[in-house]
Amino acid sequence: MILCVGLTPTVQRTQRFETLTLGEVNRASETLTTASGKAVNVARVLDTLGASVCLVQPLGGDSGRYVHKNLPFPQEIVWAEDDAPTRTCCTLLGGMVTTELVEEASPLCEADRERLIACVQGKLPLATALALSGSLPPGTNPDFYARLCAVTPRSVPVVLDAQKEPLRLALAECPFLVKPNRQETIAALHLPADTSALACAQALCEAGAQNALVSEGKAGAVLRTDEGAWRILPPKITAQNPIGSGDALMAGLIFSHFVLQATLQATLQESVRFGTACAAANCLTLTSGVVHSETINQLLSQVVLESVQ
């Protein structure tokens, strides 16, 4: 089972507009409501691919009950002690641009945070890998992911998609792989603004990550391992909604590397190739963290893997 953990789930409203103008009345041509958040997206893509997953997350209020009901796989929920409602975020698709309206998550009280850690620890003996993703609620100590890494046995590889201090602090615990995007890496490690994805990946490994995957949208991603570095170029597609592509990338690589591994013996770079097809498939659906298996299979042969120095 792949154990997915995230502290900031959301109800996601995705609305499409013919044109979108700030300061005007804009009428949506289509509105979809889904459960989302980074860990939700990772778990949903893994579930679609056929992996056994368990998602640990805090929820509260009617919005939290909506998220819980709308996910078709096992979840371990820490219900907010004061029933603080789960947030709602909005994606506005207008013309060729995507606009995100992000609501801050409700703070998580100390007792709920400790219940979450205990819940993860209880599930770890059943886990093949641990996937940690997303921002932390306001007031959460930034060492949260570092703490989870520290209590995870060496036999359970940790894959982490985080930013800022939570990413920086977790690097010291040597997670198996980290997957920030290029801008997030530059901000977390205080690198010069023009640092390349390859140099970002190198810096993440020097700071402790065993492997680093640095994504940069439609330009693809760079993977750095002990054995070398690769640039992974995605298929050329017309994206409908790219939000959640990083989550689909992470889910795809975890599926290929830790679920299919026993039969496929895929190298990490091959697993990232599969993840890149999942990320492109996510771009082709209207809501984030939703992929179709047939699309992934069609796109896989168009992903290019190049060794870089």
Ligand X SMILES: Nc1ncnc2c1ncn2[C@@H]1O[C@H](COP(=O)(O)OP(=O)(O)OP(=O)(O)O)[C@@H](O)[C@H]1O
Q: Work out how close the CB of 236 gets to ligand X at its nearest, in angstroms, rounded to a whole number.
A: 7
User: If contact means CB under 5 to 8 A according to the sort of partner, which of ligand X, Mg ion, none does residue 146 touch?
Assistant: none
For ligand X, the closer of residues 115 and 164 by Cβ is 164
Q: Work out how close the CB of 275 gets to Mg ion at its nearest, in angstroms, rounded to a whole number.
A: 13
Name residues whose C-beta falls within 8 Å of residue 92's C-beta, 6 or more positions apart in sequence: 15, 17, 20, 98, 99, 100, 101
For Mg ion, the closer of residues 175 and 246 by Cβ is 246
Structure tokens at 39: 């860990």
User: If contact means CB under 5 to 8 A according to the sort of partner, which of ligand X, Mg ion, none does residue 14 touch?
Assistant: none
Kindly write out the interface string for residues 234-273 of this chain, putting x where it contacts Mg ion by CB under 5 A and - elsewhere: ------------x---------------------------
For Mg ion, the closer of residues 157 and 246 by Cβ is 246
User: If contact means CB under 5 to 8 A according to the sort of partner, which of Mg ion, ligand X, none does residue 249 touch?
Assistant: ligand X
Q: Work out how close the CB of 110 gets to Mg ion at its nearest, in angstroms, rounded to a whole number.
A: 27
Q: Work out how close the CB of 243 gets to Mg ion at its nearest, in angstroms, rounded to a whole number.
A: 9
Q: Work out how close the CB of 216 gets to ligand X at its nearest, in angstroms, rounded to a whole number.
A: 5
- For residues 109 and 107, what is the distance between their CA atoms, to the nearest angstrom? 6
For Mg ion, the closer of residues 6 and 157 by Cβ is 6
For ligand X, the closer of residues 165 and 216 by Cβ is 216
For ligand X, the closer of residues 202 and 240 by Cβ is 240
Q: Which residue is nearest to Mg ion (CB)?
A: 246
What is the number of other CB atoms lying within 10 angstroms of the CB of residue 175?
28
User: If contact means CB under 5 to 8 A according to the sort of partner, which of ligand X, Mg ion, none does residue 243 touch?
Assistant: ligand X
For ligand X, the closer of residues 140 and 295 by Cβ is 295
Q: Which residue is nearest to ligand X (CB)?
A: 246
Q: Work out how close the CB of 124 gets to ligand X at its nearest, in angstroms, rounded to a whole number.
A: 25
Structure tokens at 252: 């795809």
60 lines the binding site for Mg ion (CB under 5 A): no
For ligand X, the closer of residues 85 and 220 by Cβ is 220
Q: Work out how close the CB of 245 gets to ligand X at its nearest, in angstroms, rounded to a whole number.
A: 3
- For residues 241 and 223, what is the distance between their CA atoms, to the nearest angstrom? 24
| Residues found near ligand X in the complex (CB under 6 A) | 181, 215-218, 220-221, 234, 237, 239, 242-247, 249, 276, 279-280, 283
Three-state secondary structure readout of the chain: CEEEECCCCEEEEEEEECCCCCCCCCCCCEEEEEEECHHHHHHHHHHHHCCCEEEEEEECHHHHHHHHHCCCCCEEEEECCCCCCCEEEEEEEECCEEEEECCCCCCCCHHHHHHHHHHHHHHHHHCCEEEEECCCCCCCCCCHHHHHHHHCCCCCCEEEECCHHHHHHHHCCCCCEECCEHHHHHHHHCCCCCCCHHHHHHHHHHCCCCEEEEECHHHCEEEEECCEEEEEECCCCCCCCCCCHHHHHHHHHHHHHHHCHHHHCCCHHHHHHHHHHHHHHHHCCCCCCCCCHHHHHHHHCCCEEEEEC
Q: Work out how close the CB of 166 gets to Mg ion at its nearest, in angstroms, rounded to a whole number.
A: 13
Which residues of this protein are in contact with Mg ion, per CB under 5 A? 246
